[in-house]
Amino acid sequence: IHRKEASLVMLTSPCNQTLGNSFILVGIPGLEGAHLWLATPLSFMYAMTLVGNTLILTVIWFDSALHEPMYYFLCILAAVDIIMATSVAPKMLSIFWSGDGIITFTACFAQMYVVHAATAAETGLLLAMAFDRYVAICKPLHYQTILTPKVMLGIGVAIMVRAILLITPLSWMVIQLPFCGSHMVPHSYCEHMAVAKLACADYMPSSLYSLIGSSIIVGSDVSFIATSYSLILQAVFRLSSRDAQLKALSTCGSHVGIMVLYYLPGMVSHYVEWFGQGVVPLHTQVLLADFYLVIPPTLNPIIYGLKTKQILERV
């Protein structure tokens, strides 16, 4: 035990030359004893993410009958989910299984960029899919004329450009910070605030940028998504067929459920860092942030893919 404590002191020392350019991810602070228990469900969810989203991509890619706007969005969502989960899950599993939390500065900043860019892209995709469902249900006769290939390409490019424009300045601000003190990151991945707080300089500009940027992006997206689904529900309740109403409500309900699972943990963990310090335990904040990145990519193939009749039949 004393040898292990001594090695940790060496790892956290700024004079240590071997780890001078590395961070050490703690995992879930206060729950280190539960890491092995958490590793098993995380391994299962990551495997489900890879299998489910790869299956969606394969089915849509090889079946020309599914080359429609809704399925194109679903393909992009599946690809983003794989990237988002893969950017964090392997390192999390390394921490949980073996306690290896060492990550170089370069790898940490790259992970930070990919994670935050993927989450920004995902919220844009959820908005695009809500708009697609609105057009399909509320304006079915104009579906093909509204969502043309050119419009689809424009939406896809806009989503990616918005994510890059939002995250690039944030990453640049964090990379410019000097890290001359402790390199122990109290998190299971390189989350922006957890890393920025280790800096020897003022990290408030990047934190304010993150808070304001994410609030504007998520706030506007959620508002438009809520508007789309409220209009969809109005159209559904005007349907004469009871079965059609139940089917539409089931689809909308599952979509809204996955969006709640995506947005709620992410926004709670984000705002708690600002307004809930000392109120919400640190391990709860980290768990919320982890759920936000792992659970939606696991459930998206089921909710958006396998509950879709055409995809289920192909599978």
For residue 5, what pLDDT is reported?
41
pLDDT over threshold 80, residue 246: no
Residue 67 C-alpha from the chain's centroid: 26
Rounded mean pLDDT of 263-282?
72
Rounded mean pLDDT of 42-60?
92
Question: Residues 176-218: pLDDT tens digits?
Answer: 988 887 889 999 999 988 898 898 888 888 889 988 988 899 8
Partners of 22 in the beta sheet? 104
pLDDT over threshold 50, residue 83: yes
Asked if 298 contacts 50 with a C-beta cutoff of 8 angstroms, the reply is: no
Q: What percent of the chain has pLDDT over 90?
A: 29
Rounded mean pLDDT of 102-126?
92
302 band by pLDDT with thresholds 50, 70 and 90: confident
For residue 11, what pLDDT is reported?
41
For residue 8, what pLDDT is reported?
42
Q: What is the DSSP string of 209-266?
A: HHHHHHHHHHHHHHHHHHHHHHHHHHHHHT-S-HHHHHHHHHHHHHHHHHHHHHHHHH
Rounded mean pLDDT of 67-78?
86
**pTM score of the predicted model:** 0.84
20 band by pLDDT with thresholds 50, 70 and 90: low
Residue 181 C-alpha from the chain's centroid: 29
Asked if 189 contacts 119 with a C-beta cutoff of 8 angstroms, the reply is: no
Identify the CATH class of 24-313: mainly alpha
How would you label 58-84 residue by residue, b for 16+ Cβ within 10 Å and e otherwise? ebbeeeeebebbbbbbbbbbbbbbbbb
Residue 46 CA to residue 49 CA, distance in Å, equals: 5
Reported residue count of the chain is: 315
φ, ψ at 31 (rounded to 5°):
-120, 30
